[in-house]
Structure 1
Amino acid sequence: MHRVTAMSSNHPAVPAPSPPDPTRRSLLIKTYALAGASLLPALAACGGSDGAAGASAQPPQPAPASAPQVQADVGFQSVSTAARLDSRFTGLSYEKNKLAQPLFTGSNTALIQLFRLLGPGVLRIGANAVDRSSWNGAVSGLTPILPAHVDALADFLQATQWQLIYGVNMARNTTASAADEAAYVFGRLGSSLLAWEIGNEPDLYRRNEYRPDDWSYPDFRSEWRELRSAMSAVSPGVAFSGPAVAFDIRRFTLPFARDEGDNVSLLTHHYYRADRNDPASTLALLLRPDPVLLNELAVLVSGASQAGIEQGVRLAEANSFFNGGVANVSNAFGTALWVMDFMFNCAVAGCTGVNMHGGGSGPGYTPIADRNGVVVEARPEFYGMLMFSQAAQGLPMRGLVVAPSAVINVSAWGVQRADGGRNLILINKDDSRSVRMSVVTGIAADRYEPLWLRGTALSASTGQTLGGVAIGQDGSWAPQAQPPLIASDGELNVLLPPASAVLLRSL
Structure 2
Amino acid sequence: MVNKSRRNLLKAAALLPLAAACDGLAWSGLAWGAGAPATQASFALDMTRPGRRVDPSLASLSYETLELSDPTFFAADNHGLVHLFREMNPHGVLRIGGNTSDDTVWGGYKGSMPTYVPRRHGKLLQPHVLKPEGLQALAGFVRATGWKLVFGVNLRIGSPEMALDLAQTVQRLVGDQLLAIQIGNEANNYEPDYTAFDTAWTPYAKALRAAGLPLAGPDTGANTDWVIEYAKRHARENVFLSRHYYREAAENGSIPDMLAGDPGFFGEVEQIMRAADQYGLPFRISEGNSYYNGGRDGTSNVFASALWGADFMLALAQRGVAGMHFHGGTLNSVEASLGRVAKAPTGGDIVAQRDAMASRYSAIAGSRALGYQPRPLFHGITLAQRFAGAQMLPGRLDAGGANLTAYAAKQGDAVLVALINKDAQRDAAVALSGLPHGAKGELMRLRAPALDSRRDVSFAMDGHVSADAGGACRIAVPKGSAAWLRWA
Same fold (TM over 0.5): yes
Q: Does 1:93 align with 2:48?
A: no
Amino acid at match of 1:447: K
* Counterpart for residue 439 of structure 2: 446
Change (3 A) 1:436 1:80: closer
1 CA distance for matches of 2:242 and 2:471? 40
1 CA distance for matches of 2:35 and 2:209? 60
1:144 Cα offset (Å):
1.3
Amino acid at match of 1:298: E
The match for 1:268 among 211, 223, 242 is 242
1:403 Cα offset (Å):
4.3
1:146 Cα offset (Å):
1.8
Q: Does 1:390 align with 2:375?
A: no
The match for 1:57 among 25, 39, 43 is 25
Q: Does 1:129 align with 2:100?
A: yes
Q: Does 1:227 align with 2:204?
A: yes
Q: Does 1:106 align with 2:86?
A: no
Amino acid at match of 1:171: R
1:106 Cα offset (Å):
0.3
Give the 5 Å matches for 1:70-219: 70-77=39-46, 82-102=51-71, 103-117=73-87, 118-136=89-107, 138=113, 141-206=126-191, 215-219=192-196
Q: Does 1:277 align with 2:251?
A: yes
Which SS does the other structure have where 1:326 is aligned?
coil
Verify the 8 A CA contact 1:427 1:501 in the aligned structure 2: yes
2 CA distance for matches of 1:116 and 1:82? 27
| CA RMSD between the two structures | 2.4
2 CA distance for matches of 1:205 and 1:265? 25
* Counterpart for residue 400 of structure 1: 396
The match for 2:363 among 361, 364, 367 is 367
Which SS does the other structure have where 2:170 is aligned?
helix
Q: Does 1:490 align with 2:471?
A: yes
| Consecutive unaligned residues in structure 2, runs of 5 or more | 1-10, 16-21, 117-125, 331-356
1 CA distance for matches of 2:304 and 2:209? 43
Change (3 A) 1:59 1:126: farther
* Counterpart for residue 277 of structure 2: 305
Which SS does the other structure have where 1:298 is aligned?
helix
Change (3 A) 1:205 1:116: same
1 CA distance for matches of 2:155 and 2:366? 27
Verify the 8 A CA contact 1:327 1:363 in the aligned structure 2: no
Change (3 A) 1:482 1:461: closer
Could you give the per-residue CA deviations for residues 159-218 of structure 1, whole angstroms, max 9, x where no partner exists?
Answer: 111001111111114122111111111111011000110100111115xxxxxxxx4322
1 CA distance for matches of 2:480 and 2:57? 28
1 CA distance for matches of 2:220 and 2:101? 14
Which SS does the other structure have where 1:391 is aligned?
coil
Aligned length: 425
The match for 2:458 among 450, 454, 465 is 465
**Alignment TM-score, normalising by the size of structure 2:** 0.82
* Counterpart for residue 38 of structure 1: none
1 CA distance for matches of 2:51 and 2:326? 20
Which SS does the other structure have where 2:299 is aligned?
coil
Which SS does the other structure have where 1:119 is aligned?
coil
1 CA distance for matches of 2:23 and 2:396? 16
Could you give the per-residue CA deviations for residues 193-249 of structure 1, whole angstroms, max 9, x where no partner exists?
Answer: 00110100111115xxxxxxxx43223212212112222333x2x421100111122
* Counterpart for residue 39 of structure 1: none
**Alignment TM-score, normalising by the size of structure 1:** 0.79
Which SS does the other structure have where 1:337 is aligned?
helix
1 CA distance for matches of 2:286 and 2:93? 9
Amino acid at match of 1:351: V
1 CA distance for matches of 2:100 and 2:324? 20
1:398 Cα offset (Å):
4.2
Change (3 A) 1:157 1:300: same
Q: Does 1:414 align with 2:408?
A: yes
Change (3 A) 1:264 1:224: same
Which SS does the other structure have where 2:373 is aligned?
strand
2 CA distance for matches of 1:61 and 1:491? 21
Verify the 8 A CA contact 1:86 1:392 in the aligned structure 2: yes
| Consecutive unaligned residues in structure 1, runs of 5 or more | 1-21, 27-53, 207-214, 468-480
Change (3 A) 1:401 1:230: same
The match for 1:333 among 303, 308, 319 is 303
Verify the 8 A CA contact 1:95 1:125 in the aligned structure 2: yes
2 CA distance for matches of 1:502 and 1:366? 23
1:78 Cα offset (Å):
6.6
Verify the 8 A CA contact 1:391 1:503 in the aligned structure 2: no
Change (3 A) 1:168 1:155: same
Amino acid at match of 1:201: E
1 CA distance for matches of 2:193 and 2:304? 39
1:372 Cα offset (Å):
6.8
* Counterpart for residue 35 of structure 1: none
* Counterpart for residue 215 of structure 2: 240
1 CA distance for matches of 2:50 and 2:236? 22
1 CA distance for matches of 2:200 and 2:479? 52
1:273 Cα offset (Å):
0.9
Could you give the per-residue CA deviations for residues 2-21 of structure 1, whole angstroms, max 9, x where no partner exists?
Answer: xxxxxxxxxxxxxxxxxxxx
* Counterpart for residue 318 of structure 2: 348
